[in-house]
Chain A
Amino acid sequence: MSKLKLVNLDIRNYFAGILFLSAVFLSLWPLRTVIIADMFWHMNIQIPLLITAGLFSKIPALAFFQNLSRFNTYGLNSFIASQVILAFWMLPISIDRAIVHWEYDFAKIISLIVCGWLIQISFKKTTTVIEVFFVGYFLAMLLWVGFYYIQSDVRLCNVYSQKSQQYAGGGLVVFAVVLSLIWIISKLNKKKDGYDKYLFKR
């Protein structure tokens, strides 16, 4: 039987907590003025902070999660759900809503933390084929949205100026490139160590 521990004071949780709190403070006054004024701080700093906080935190080993994992063979469903959340928060209309309505901002914080958890679960359980499909799809989407934000000659978000939109788009493109490099390098390293042997040789 697994031990029921809700608060796990692991070093990883301290780290994730710091990331999470700094992201939450960005949504509260007075730091909120920063994300209201600048799309870069919203899309390229706050949202990634929330996702990484979820990604690094240790998920409590509850029986509920154990049972749920039966629905999640090879991390397929957690990948799909995280993809939906990520796609949702790339829409300009969602970005606007998160600034104008606090309910959406609250939903943003919760859903992106959950998204980080889901990605963490997926990476533990997945196989290479599924991982390549979802990660590749996400990175392509990120790159596309980034370029779209840069080249669009209309203001897509009512709450940000066009210049701010272009910087945010540039940030997304940089993110896409850096993340794909990190991902490819980590994949190659794993392969070299024979760690992923199960996935390549059946």
Chain B
Amino acid sequence: MKKKLNPGPSDLALSFVGAICIVFLGIFALLLATDFGRSFTTEGYRRHQIDVNPESVPNILLVNSLGVNQHLQNVIIQDGRFVILDFFYTSCRTICIAQAAIFNALQEKIKAHHLDDRVRLVSVSFDPKQDDIKAIQQYASRVKADPSVWSLLTLNNSKDLKSLLDSFGIYVIKVPPFGDLDHNASFHLIDPKGNLIKISSLDDVDDLLSIVKLKIKYE
């Protein structure tokens, strides 16, 4: 064990300057990693990024429950309505059921407020191997989707899955015991020009509707 010597005044001064530098650099590094203290989770980071810079949605080929092929971006621009979009898979037993219940309530709300010519709901399956057109149809009737407001889509080509999920910031994992799929559940608001303008959590879906109302009011 080396004997502890009393440090000289010059060493103390050096250490003090060093401490200030390290504290500032450390705080800066932590702020940089957390988007200046705004987001401690990947999901929060993504949501803030979209708030600041809206991104255009990818033009990926999807199939609706009637078997019609449609490119995502084209169909949103042609339709001319705001879109609230979420992701699901038909064999899901947990979070997707909650999402479907929220969408069902939202569907009724949209109809009650006569907003169905301005906003619609879209659910996209991220399990293209299991979810063919038939499975989507069954699911649509199970969640009581009204085709004029709520359309359910699945991927045409399962190769597009990764680019679709990446562009929406969705990360799908397999949960060990039964290999169930789990994913970050969120709702995506897309404007009629095909830009993703807001991502919200499941609890704040009403905010998306009020954003739509505001946008319509100030058009």
Contact = CB atoms under 8 A, between A and B. Distances in A.
B22 to A, nearest CB: 5
A124 B5 CA distance: 12
Given A92-B41, A96-B42, A161-B175, A72 B15 contact: yes
Interface residues of B, number: 31
B184 A158 contact: yes
Interface string B22-38: 11001001100110000
Contacts of B42: 92-93, 96-97, 157-158
Contacts of A74: 7, 15
Given A76-B19, A87-B30, A88-B33, A93 B12 contact: no
A186 interface: no
B15 A71 contact: yes
Given A77-B18, A81-B22, A198-B4, A93 B11 contact: no
Nearest to A125: B4
Contact of A154 (B18, B26, B173, B201): B201
B26 A91 contact: no
A94 interface: yes
Contacts of A163: 175
A37 B176 contact: yes
Given A92-B41, A155-B184, A158-B171, A77 B11 contact: no
Nearest to A158: B171
A80 B22 contact: yes
A14 interface: no
A80 B40 contact: no
Given A80-B22, A88-B29, A93-B34, A73 B184 contact: no
Contacts of A88: 29-30, 33
A51 interface: no
Given A73-B7, A81-B26, A159 B15 contact: no
B15 A160 contact: no
A83 B173 CA distance: 31
6 closest A-B pairs (Cβ-Cβ)? Answer: A84-B26, A73-B15, A158-B171, A71-B18, A96-B42, A73-B7
